Amino acid sequence: MTPASSHSPHGRSPLRTVQVLGGGNAATGAHVRSLTTGLVARGVRVTVCAPIEAEHTYDFTGTGAAHLHVPRSSDPASVAALRAACAHADLVHAHGLHASFRAALALSGKPTPLVVTWHDRAPAEGPRAHFLRLLERRVAKAATVVLGTTSALVDLARRTGARDARLAAVPPPARPADTDAGDPDRLRPKVRAELGATGRPLMVAADALERHRGHRALLDAAHAWMRLDPSPLVVIAGEGPLRPELQRRIGAEDLPVRLLGRRDDVTDLLAAADVALLTGRWAARSRFAQQALQAGVPLVATRVGGTPELVGDAAELVPYGNARALADAALRLLADPARREELRARGARQAAGWPTEDETVAQVLSVYDELTRPLPLI
């Protein structure tokens, strides 16, 4: 399935779009890179406005797009640079709340259609939460179309004033083309030995070490798992401000937990895992959850945000912050090989139903064409 842009076949000049990215997390940056690749291949002219660091990471120019460095800031100079980049665009597509807000400022007073994609929603409290809710309302009302990556985000956009909100197709993360990753039987013992998990169960989590990520409940659960013989080893890939606090507790209680720091080999860790753990307070389309299902690793996840919609019946879901429920669900999986095999099979079926890159580009192009199609002469 390779849909073409509807503009050039009718003798008109190619569609000119600007993709606005504020830096974003790994999932958002990878999505913009994938979308840009598909749009350029279908004859769309794409300029990506993003910090230079994002260009270094995702190589937007390598897709055939142009890149313009625009800092992740809403100061007048950054907004002016973005306004200049959008001056001749047929359509602007912004990704994430802050990038969307800057795009709305840059297009203020202009008729250029603005599409925004909400990939996630950052948990916040106090004054910051109030500030983010104000941004959401401003962006929802300014956008021509809001694409939400989950039904919850679509509902949020409608509640905050969006004229048109739709569910976005988003492909899963691309699997690495690593030879060992394609041979889990060879990779598994190697990784387990490196982690110190030979002869004991291995549980893997991957998330930033921040508030609302559920790491305190995870350590509570690890304390309960200590009574097992052998006790499972829990490894957490990720970095963040809670690391000193978590490390102190791990040392004080001699918990079977290792903080691995930032890792770019999460798929390798999953290939070695018996159970994957996702414990945060909020997730839209968790990259880690998708990787776990793709890898055939039984997943225990919190019943929050878009996770139930993403995983369906292919994971054990528990309440956020409930260490007892988390510990019990993981223990049941470790003790029940048949249930683990059932979840592996369900995970494969669930992942097979996720949108492909072609389907994602086709949906976005249909929105673009709808918003830029010439009005009929009366």
Token couple for 151: 């039904």
Contact 104, 139 (CB under 8 A): yes
CA pair distance 100, 112, nearest whole angstrom:
14
Phi, psi (rounded to 5 degrees) for 142: -80, -25
Q: What is the pLDDT of residue 6?
A: 46
Q: Percent of the chain having pLDDT more than 90?
A: 83
Nearest to 118, CA basis, from 212, 51, 16, 24:
24
Q: Which of 27-31, 214-218, 222-226 has the lowest mean pLDDT?
A: 27-31
Residue 320 CA to residue 325 CA, distance in Å, equals: 9
Distance (Å) of CA 349 to CA 63, 126, 296, 346, 353: 31, 41, 10, 5, 7
pLDDT tens digit sequence for 226-269: 999 999 999 999 999 999 999 999 999 999 999 999 999 999 99
pLDDT for 97-156, tens place per residue? 999 999 999 999 899 999 999 998 877 788 888 899 999 999 999 999 999 999 999 999
Q: What's the confidence (pLDDT) of residue 375?
A: 62
pLDDT for 12 equals: 65
How far is residue 175 CA from its own chain's centroid?
14
**pLDDT of 10 over the 50 cut:** no
Residue 9 has a pLDDT of 44
Dig out the tokens for 298 from the structure. 């039984």
> End-to-end alpha-carbon separation of the chain, Å?
35
Rg (CA), the chain: 22
Average pLDDT over the chain, rounded to an integer: 92
Which strand (E) or helix (H) includes residue 203?
strand 202-206
Residue 378: its pLDDT value, please? 57
pLDDT tens profile 22-66: 866 778 999 999 999 999 999 999 999 999 999 999 999 999 999
CA distances (Å), origin 368, targets 6, 249, 354: 9, 51, 22
Residues with Cβ within 8 Å of 135's Cβ and at least 6 positions away in sequence, in order, are 97, 98, 101
Percent pLDDT > 70 in the chain is 93
pLDDT in the model for residue 146: 98
Question: How many other CB atoms are there within 10 angstroms of residue 160's CB atom?
Answer: 18
Q: What is the DSSP code string of 315-350? A: SEEE-TT-HHHHHHHHHHHHH-HHHHHHHHHHHHHH
What pLDDT sits at residue 74? 81
The pLDDT of residue 27: 83
Give pairs for 229-232: CB < 8 Å, separation 24+.
230/199, 230/200, 230/201, 231/200, 231/256, 232/200, 232/201, 232/202, 232/203, 232/256, 232/274, 232/275, 232/330, 232/334
Whole-number pLDDT of residue 128: 86
- The predicted-structure confidence for 321-357, as pLDDT tens digits, reads as follows 999 999 999 999 999 999 999 999 999 999 999 999 9
Q: What is the pLDDT of residue 75?
A: 86
Overall residue count recorded for the chain in this entry? 378
How much is the average pLDDT of 176-182?
53
* Measured distance CA(341)–CA(274) in Å, rounded: 11
What would the mean pLDDT of 66-80 be, rounded to a whole number? 90
Question: Which residues lie closer than 8 Å to 227 by C-beta, 6 or more apart?
Answer: none
Distance CA(255)–CA(269), nearest Å, equals 20
Tokens of 234: 């829990």
